[in-house]
Amino acid sequence: MLPSLLDWFNQVRIAHSDAVALVAGGEEGYSGLALAVKATRDIAEGEGLCTIPKAACLSIRTTQLADIIEEEELGGGLGLVLAVLHEMSLGEESTWHGYFRALPPREYLPLFWSDAQLKWLQGTELEGRVAADRAAAAEDFEDHVLPLLQKYPGRLRDDFITLGNFHVAASFVASRAFGVDEWHGDAMVPLADIFNHKASVVELGEGYEVHGAGTDSSDGEGGGSDEEPEGGGSDGEGEGGGSEEGGSSGTEGEEASEGEEGSSSSSSDEEHPSQRGKQAAGHGHEHRRDGACCGGALSHAHGDGTRAHTHAAAASTAAAAAEQASGGGEHATVLPSVMGGGPAAIHGLESANGLHLRLQMGIVDADEDTLEIVAGSAVPAGAEVHNTYGELGNAELVKKYGFALRQNPFTLATLDKGRLLGAAKRALGAKRWRVRSALLERETEVLEAEEEPFEALPNGHISAPLFVALLVLGASDNEAARWEGVADALRPPAAAAAAAGGDSEEEEEEEQQQLGAVQVWPVLDTKGKQLTPEAASAAAAAQPRSRGAQLTPAMCRLLRDEVQQRMAAYPAPLQQDVEKLAAAEEQQQQPGAAAAADSEAAVAERAALLLRITEQEVLRDLLAALAARLAAAGGEAAGANGGATAAGTTRGKRKR
């Protein structure tokens, strides 16, 4: 597979420097099921690694079906799925035949899972969502693809245009597409999709932004964090079922790998030269579903138009000129930093699976017609060079890529908003509920069923909407009587403000506007391990000045009861799933077990197990945080006067 793929790269003028090499995934500690990218020598931040002509990218502009896609105004994901489907049907007549030969028969996403396999998703963020995706895909196919066979006779290969093949094309788009620029839109970008995923905080440098068909994740993975969720990415070339960062056995002891990071990308938003003065009719007419079968909108970190394009190109040209004058080597081209200046951390975590959370590669415009992959940060020789597909939790990774990570700082568990609010209403009574709920409805959307989800987040964090609801609904009558609005409820107590030295009104207002995830109590260290007793004591000393200190025992008990009921939704206890995963990984190490481990069924089962495990660990850690907060407040003391509190502890019975 690899030799023929490299031959095709040469034909379409895709190239990489001697700083990187393509290797088989799963070997020598590299992640993925097929291919991976490793550093053959030390790589400097900003160093150019690969060049990819935009003409070699499969998009709605470069496909042989471009005229029909433009005429029918099929933009976004649906247009690209149709382009991929058509080029697949052409076989050797397609420019991308050599590329398709290197891909797996399909990316084994939940879209393809059997009913028995879908039961593995019970209790998770994906439970019940696959059926809706299948229905949307069928509707797209029947309403927008099948009619083209009669409208344009002879242009599409009727025998190949089936719903099954449409699903296959959609799986490739979901797991591999990148935004290229405003003219091409999203596209299949060969070579770029060989870089496997790792969790990274998308903190971009000046002159870069997120670009793609859409940057909003409809499912909110990572929502409620202080960082802005970004999109993007693709899976490793030829991988069935996706790629996992650091392989299946990354450990925190692998700090020699701390040069391994994530990715972003940058490019020009200019129209293609051939389209200047014309309306780019196809792009911009994004279909209402944008290719719902693809698992959501496509996006990745990308440059902010002309400024980023000229900035990157000028820097590259200047560096090349300086290098030529000095007579140095051929790898000194350095671009402005892709990474922002902020720390790569989220929810108090700085690493996952033995790898820190910094971006590692980016895609910029080398010139008007060429993409360049550059190092977002330094990579040591021998290490794998990773991409990041965005700040995605495991539910989104399983849905769009078919795999999950053992540690993922963006994984979340959505709580049942209606159930929690119902408990609060019963505890408050009708009169107090009307007053408190009216305040929330007047100034926020936290009570809306389809807005502002209540989320449990890693390391004892909760989403901002959940925190706001708890503060308003769980406060004492005496406290609530002093409020004029929600801003008053969010203002830290006088004791906390005094301990912090007091904030000005401007500082308080800015803090409230920037309210992100709130930590109930820290339970993990920066590497995702349980805090040692010494570290826990130090964390406790800092708690009076934290946002979490505003949570009263009544609020904590209300949230605790909901979290316990949420955990009861999974088909097996956390420890049982952990043991099952360990047994499966041990079995994979047996002689002759590799093929079975790489089978679609095995990949799906591992993904579902990891999803269940990591979601339950988020909930477990939140329960530990609530227990610590309650202990600090005097244990199970009665709730404050008038606050919403559930009677007793609802542990719930596990569903079987």
CATH number of the domain that residue 626 is part of: 3.90.1420.10
pLDDT tens for each residue of 635-647: 554 334 444 544 3
- Do 121 and 88 belong to one domain? yes
Q: How far apart are CA 329 and CA 526, in angstroms?
A: 39
The residue out of 349, 373, 401 marking a domain boundary is 401
In a domain, 114, yes or no: yes
591 and 481 belong to one structural domain: yes
3-state secondary structure 238-265: CCCCCCCCCHHHCCCCCHHHCCCCEECC
Q: What pLDDT does 340 receive?
A: 53
Number of structural domains found in the chain: 2
Let me know whether 31 and 151 are in one domain.
Answer: yes
User: DSSP letters of 325-392?
Assistant: HHT--S---B-S-SB-SS-S-BTTB-EETTEES-EEEEEEEEETTEEEEEESS-B-TTPBP-B---S-
Residues in the chain: 656
pLDDT band at 492 (very low <50, low <70, confident <90, very high): confident
**pLDDT tens digit string along 560-619?**
999 999 999 999 999 999 999 999 888 877 766 555 557 899 999 999 999 999 999 999
Is 55 contained in some domain? Answer: yes
Q: Which of 354, 379, 401 is the last residue of a domain?
A: 401
Instruction: Please check whether residues 390 and 448 belong to one and the same domain.
Output: no
> Are 381 and 518 within one domain?
no
DSSP string, 265-279: -----PPPGGGTTS-
Tell whether 469 and 548 lie within a shared domain.
Answer: yes
The reply to whether 397 and 371 lie within a common domain is: yes
Residue 354: which CATH number?
A: 3.90.1410.10
**Better pLDDT: 252 or 502:** 502
pTM: 0.80
Instruction: Select the more confidently predicted residue: 533 or 513.
Output: 533
* Secondary structure class of 459 (helix, strand, coil): coil
- The string of pLDDT tens digits covering residues 387-410 is 999 999 999 999 999 999 999 999
> Do 358 and 476 belong to one domain?
no
Domain endpoint, select from 372, 401, 430: 401
Q: Could you tell me if residue 460 is inside a domain?
A: yes
In which domain, by residue range, is 366 found? 1-216+338-401
Task: Let me know whether 388 and 434 are in one domain.
Answer: no
The verdict on residue 151 lying in a domain is: yes
Same domain, 397 and 542: no
**Which of 46-55, 73-82, 499-508, 647-656 is least confident?**
647-656
Instruction: Say if residue 88 is in the same domain as residue 136.
Output: yes
258 domain-assigned: no
In a domain, 375, yes or no: yes
> Based on the domain organization, do 486 and 602 belong to the same domain?
yes
